[in-house]
Amino acid sequence: MPGCSRAQLHYADGMCGIVGYTGRQRAVDVVVDGLKRLEYRGYDSAGVAIVADGKLDAQKRAGKLTNLTEALKAQATSADGAVFEAGTTGIGHTRWATHGAPNDLNAHPHLSEDGSIALIHNGIIENFAQLRGALERDGVFFASETDTETAAHLLAREYANAPEGQDRLSEAMRRVCRQLEGAFTLLAVHRDEPQTVVGARRNSPLVVGRGEGENFLASDVAAFIAHTREAVELGQDQVVRISPTDIVVTNFDGTPAQTREFHIDWDASAAEKDGYDYFMLKEIAEQPRAIADTLRGRLTGTGEVVLDDVHLTPAQLREIDKVFVIACGTAYHSGLVAKYAIEHWTRIPVEVELASEFRYRDPVLGPKTLCIAVSQSGETMDTIMALRHAKEQNAPVLAICNTIGSTIPRESDAVLYTRAGPEVAVASTKAFLTQIVAAYLVGLYLAQVRGVKFGDEVSAVVRELEEIPAAVQQVIEVSEPVREIAQRLKDDKQILFLGRHVGYPVALEGALKLKELAYMHAEGFAAGELKHGPISLIEEGSPVVVTVPSPKGRSVLHDKMVSNIQEVRARGAKMIIIAEEGDDVVEEYADELIRVPHVPTLLAPLVTTVPLQVLACEIASARGHDVDQPRNLAKSVTVE
């Protein structure tokens, strides 16, 4: 393989899935199986390295994991497969490239010059150019263009200088980490240490799985859940060494580290497709259960909401005079929905901010500003940086998160976990609905602590929320017409989404789902805003999807929406209308009509989003796209 000069482009890796294993099973099987469960994190390339009998062997391929598994199959029948056949220790990587084109050369693992060390990496080593320059001046040959390879060569150098003994690879890793800047998870194996995998963590996810006579390392518990449900959470700036029987964690300075053990309360079947064509369809179908689980046990007999882990006193919460919700993408949309409810219930002003923008505009923050960080993965770097900024300004942070032990809840002052279970499809569905539910619970909690809602009022809302799983189930069961509509829309070039009030963020979410899965131009608009510009997008036959507010209760919203429907229809739009059962007024304007059951106004997004999820999934599928792994995306965005 040709070497590369420093002037050439370098490729770093953003999210990536990583797995490490040592035990008694054939490591390649365990590692590849783990990678399959992590492929949602990145699918630009994949690779494995296995150690056995003083030898180390690696295989890597650009493209999806199947390219690697094909190569491994071919190798199994040749003499080259000996190490893979015998090895019970190994590491594996599935890559989401942040810069530049992915190829075999830049795929992980990266090896030291003498091939004794294999290393994989998730994150970005910011000072890699400097380190690489120094290594090259010392005559080290680089085979790839990655920042990761720098760490592999540094590790080889430090290993040579580290004292012999079972801690040697960990000590070398600690020495390397002290030289690195940026965000990284690193895993490494050495050919002379056939029962050791060493990992390091700074700002990127890494969790340990504790088995019997075997141990695991992975960026997500999904990778080892088929083998063990006992896990160990790692903190920042820690190095871990696993052998089949031991897990030893130290800080980067070599001192013993504090860790926390936890039990994973879902099993391997939760991360399987279970007969569905796509994870996304399975996860849509799981939404009633996910909402019910997120609500379970969260209300005491006296109507008090219980959060998971709160290091904020009621006195502190009574002082809050402003709430910021910080999040990205779909999680941001859940915040936009929650704003309506939290303001309504607490009378505290709520601002919802894209995490990537938050800290750059110097927001006004202080001890009386509650920041709610919403994240499915708990590892989204934009959100992590926004929450750190909030904490630096002494603002308390409350996390709404789906991943126990991830960075966002760990660094927050209070946590409410969504109990959606593992979300594997890149497009978020069940996480979204449970984020709304959790944010509503936080709103009720605040209202209660501040004395603006009595226990019976809180209980009444929670009872309404408890009715939602059945309503969502009903929508899912009658989604056949949505599939048929998807067939009719699949060749359109653009679809617009309209909503009012809480239906506005639903329109944004419907458009985001369609963009990311169907690669179609889609925009969500507040219906009243259309006539201020976007209505010029409407042509004869342009599809427009509208969620219509309930005619009951706030009928003024309903009536306004009906006139917006007439406005666009008059310009020739094809109307796809999502309306409550019994709302007869809209029938005459609908080219396609999707019915949903009646629920209270603030809870409507929990129901009306569901047909939009199905619509995006079915249009993408009809266009022949990979629904679970849309192009250019990864599930967990661990770079800014």
Residues at the interface with ligand F6R (CB under 6 A): 328-331, 375-377, 380, 383, 427-428, 512, 516, 636-637
Checking DSSP bridges between strand 543-547 and strand 521-526, what pairing results, if any? unpaired
Q: Which is nearer to ligand F6R, 150 or 435 (CB)?
A: 435
What's the sign of the alpha-carbon dihedral 517, 518, 520, 524?
negative
Q: Is 635 considered catalytic here?
A: yes
> 186 pairs with which residues across the strands?
121, 200
- The span from the first CA to the last CA of the chain, in angstroms, equals 31
Q: Which two tokens stand for residue 535?
A: 């209505």
Active-site choice (36, 339, 574, 635): 635
Of 424 and 577, the one with the shorter C-beta distance to ligand F6R is: 424
Please tell me which residue in 4, 16, 328, 401 is annotated as part of the active site.
16
**Can you state the percent helix, strand and coil of the chain, rounding each to 5?**
40, 25, 35
CA distances from 119 to 50, 102, 128, 185, 202 (A): 11, 18, 15, 10, 16
**Of all residues in this chain, which one has the CB nearest to ligand F6R in the complex?**
329
Q: For residues 495 and 557, which CB has a smaller minimum distance to ligand F6R in the complex?
A: 495
How far is it, in rounded angstroms, from Cα 466 to Cα 154? 55
Element (H, E) at 520: none
| CB burial string 544-575: b at 16+ within 10 A, e below | bbbbbbbbeebeebbebbbebbeebbeeebbb
Helices (H), 347-429: 355-358, 381-392, 407-410
Closest distance to ligand F6R from the beta carbon of 382 (Å) = 8
The answer to whether the beta carbons of residues 188 and 118 sit under 8 Å apart is yes
Between residues 83 and 398, which has the closer beta carbon with respect to ligand F6R?
398
Distance CA 195, CA 189 (A): 9
Nearer to ligand F6R, 37 or 175 (CB): 37
| Residue 26, CA atoms < 13 Å, CB-side half-sphere | 11
Q: Give the position of tokens 């998730």.
A: 122
Q: Among residues 250 and 636, whose Cβ is nearest to ligand F6R?
A: 636
Q: Which is nearer to ligand F6R, 431 or 498 (CB)?
A: 431
Q: How far is the CB of 330 from ligand F6R (least distance, A)?
A: 3
The answer to whether 371 is a known catalytic residue is no
Cα 575 to Cα 235: distance, rounded to the nearest angstrom: 51
Residues with a known catalytic role: 16, 635
